[in-house]
Structure 1
């Protein structure tokens, strides 16, 4: 049995959407200036203290102005030498532009205390990707007596030739202070220099280390 009713079509009228008056009435986004160092710490002064070893006291007196000038004038960090405590004290100021400047200056002064020249250590203030890594010969291999002396001699080479070759090839700076070794450079370059120094400590001849160093630095140059 068929129904005589005609099919009813359902049509929906499209109503044009009107822009909401609420979004149009929103105020423009505020623009805030970045917080300064003293504002991030709620106005509290932040300190750092770096101890001065006895053998670096006289060199510090000679180059004090070279250390004081970039820290105070460029990084806007107060610095003073505490003669009684034998420490270099650093603190933030109201006009310190960046909160990280205090740590950079602390690393700069600490690098000088480890034995780096001011010209080399000042790169820590200008570049963010530089680090100082320290290790001892006994961390690589336990050596005593003449064996230890010969290992230190292999690290330096005749007239410092081996040390300078590793520095120039890896773009790092190396300080050999008795049995402690300090390396200043970028992360990748420090790794290459450390591997070369460890090979020398373990007894590899300098010629073999040079050839391996040339191959590694060539690969690094192609990568970057």
Structure 2
């Protein structure tokens, strides 16, 4: 949707829908989300409580249209479950992406098999998830049966392969050793 302001410039708006379970975290972190969008990107941002959407709008000071999409991606990343500090990286870096998929996209699991799979992905006290994140330089959010990965294109691919191996039943030790070899090969090529 677009309209025009007094100076004749086009005003563009992006709306990001907020599910009910993310409304409280959004309200609690509102100032830390609001400040980078309004100060750095020169955009207007408001929360519409009736429609449960965050609205981001260009102003006369907005440098370009790309910042509007960056702000929408930033808010969307927080709503998916990423920390504010991780989501801010989307504003600062250009080559970061988010990939989302479900466990059933990799393998159809039901009942206890599904909960065992989620446990294998997280690991004891989150150890497996943190190991994958640190080895691949990505951020992973396990939201019920959905998996969200934030990182560069190549790192997302490596992370996704490790997560898929765990979903398919590989033991974590085997996944760690494969990650170690892939990451050492990747780091030596730089």
Gaps of 5+ in 1: 1-37
Match of 2:47 in 1: 81
**Are 1:60 and 2:29 counterparts?**
no
| Cα distance in 1 between the residues matched to 2:125 and 2:11 | 47
| Structure having the larger proportion of residues in helix | 2
| Cα distance in 2 between the residues matched to 1:176 and 1:97 | 35
**Are 1:201 and 2:167 counterparts?**
yes
Structure 1 counterpart SS, 2:10: coil
- The runs of at least 4 aligned residues of structure 1 exceeding 3 Å deviation read none
**Length-normalised TM-score, structure 2:** 0.95
Q: Highest CA radius of gyration, 1 or 2?
A: 1
TM superposition shift of 1:53:
1.0
Match of 2:158 in 1: 192
Match of 1:165 in 2: 131
| Cα distance in 2 between the residues matched to 1:43 and 1:64 | 28
**Length-normalised TM-score, structure 1:** 0.81
| Structure having the larger proportion of residues in strand | 2
Among 134, 158, 162, which residue is 2:100 paired with?
A: 134
| Cα distance in 1 between the residues matched to 2:19 and 2:10 | 29
In angstroms, what is the RMSD of aligned CA positions?
A: 1.0
TM superposition shift of 1:200:
0.1
TM superposition shift of 1:43:
1.9
